[in-house]
Amino acid sequence: MCSSPHLFELPERASLSAQVAEALRKAIAAGTWQRYLPGERRLCQLFQVSRPTIQTALRVLVKEGRLVIKRGCRTRIQDTPNRPKVGRNRLVGLITQMPVTQMTQNAHHGVSEMRAHLAEHGFSTEIFVCSPSGARPQLKKLENFVRQNPVFCCVLISVTREVQLWFAQNSMPALVLGWCHAGVKLPSLDVDFQSVCRHAAGVFLSKGHRNIGLVLESSGAAGDLASEAGFREGAARFTGTEEIRTMVMRHNGTPRHITDKLEALFSSPNPPTALLVAHPLPVFTVLFFLLRRGLTVPESVSVIARDQDHLFSSFLPPISHYHFDGNSFVHRLTHLMLKFVGQGYLAPEPHLLFPKFFAGATVAARE
């Protein structure tokens, strides 16, 4: 059901024109483009090479009789008896816990760009919202969705461990957009949250903070579990003689629940002097809570945002956070999906992005 001929391959960086020519041969032979190639500029974007490299590769295929190039006309593919028709399984399923419009800015942009690139290669995409509540009924619906649709592969976006396991155990080709849960072997793409949170704990400790907290949604998402592990690892690396207190405050994502949990946390005998906050929206809830309590940032409490939001750098004071160029995420995601549809397989290993730390002005030394 899920096997597919080679459709598209990105070239290695050695002998680029020859590699591009070979990738074009395979794509043409598989029927990726039916009558005409995309324009040179678009091919440059897809293969991530220069225009002269594309032009050299095209000339090679013209000499082989595979292409016809006429000035002012689109590059036409020569019909050959060996070129098969397009296969039937050209649907990519997007399995998500929430509608695409509710995703983070980077995730939404990456998914939108990926869908556009897949459409250029003749693949359609369909979204299946798999709510985390009621695991068994949702898995039954998911099984029906996959059975009733000619799915080539799926992209799993922040889904539960049960959903990831279902794909792994049924050998269904899938790419996890996020972290894989423990015991799940699937290819994945995400930010290296474990390293990010390990680094953030080190930043707090280097500033003299000894009571540090992580504000985390109790979603059970693998990336959040990795965040907690990294935060505790960072604290465990402290080599000083003073005692380090790490606290993890879990909430259900609503402002009311976050505020109630913060109230309990800051009413404890040893409240945190530094907070690492996961996900963008809770950051503002935390800041408003501290303001109402008369705690200034960063003089009373230092704050770092684990994720990025375009408002963080324009906020006064600018909020310390981790960020990366959204285009790099888009390129990695698109590259992996083109490779996936090209060879029909991805090795079950993580592909991680490590963002840069934007120091901002919400972290101060503890006096």
CA separation for the pair 41, 102 (Å, rounded): 32
Q: CA 298 to CA 315: how far, in whole Å? A: 14
Asked if residues 68 and 75 have their Cβ atoms less than 8 Å apart, the reply is yes
How far is residue 309 CA from its own chain's centroid? Answer: 15
Specify the pLDDT at position 13. 44
* Confidence (pLDDT) at 17: 83
Return the pLDDT at 134. Answer: 66
The Cα 195–Cα 218 span in angstroms is 20
pLDDT, mean of each 10-residue run, the chain (367 residues): 43 66 79 79 82 89 87 81 50 83 71 80 82 75 81 86 89 88 90 95 96 91 90 93 94 95 96 96 96 96 94 90 82 82 82 92 92
Q: What is the pLDDT of residue 120?
A: 76
Q: DSSP code of 102?
A: G
CA distance 355 to 89: 36
Q: Which of 285, 333, 330, 335 is nearest to 105 (CA)?
A: 330
| Global confidence as pTM | 0.68
* CA distances in angstroms from 44 to 68, 133, 162, 340, listed in the order given: 19, 44, 40, 19
- In this prediction, residue 85 carries a pLDDT of 45
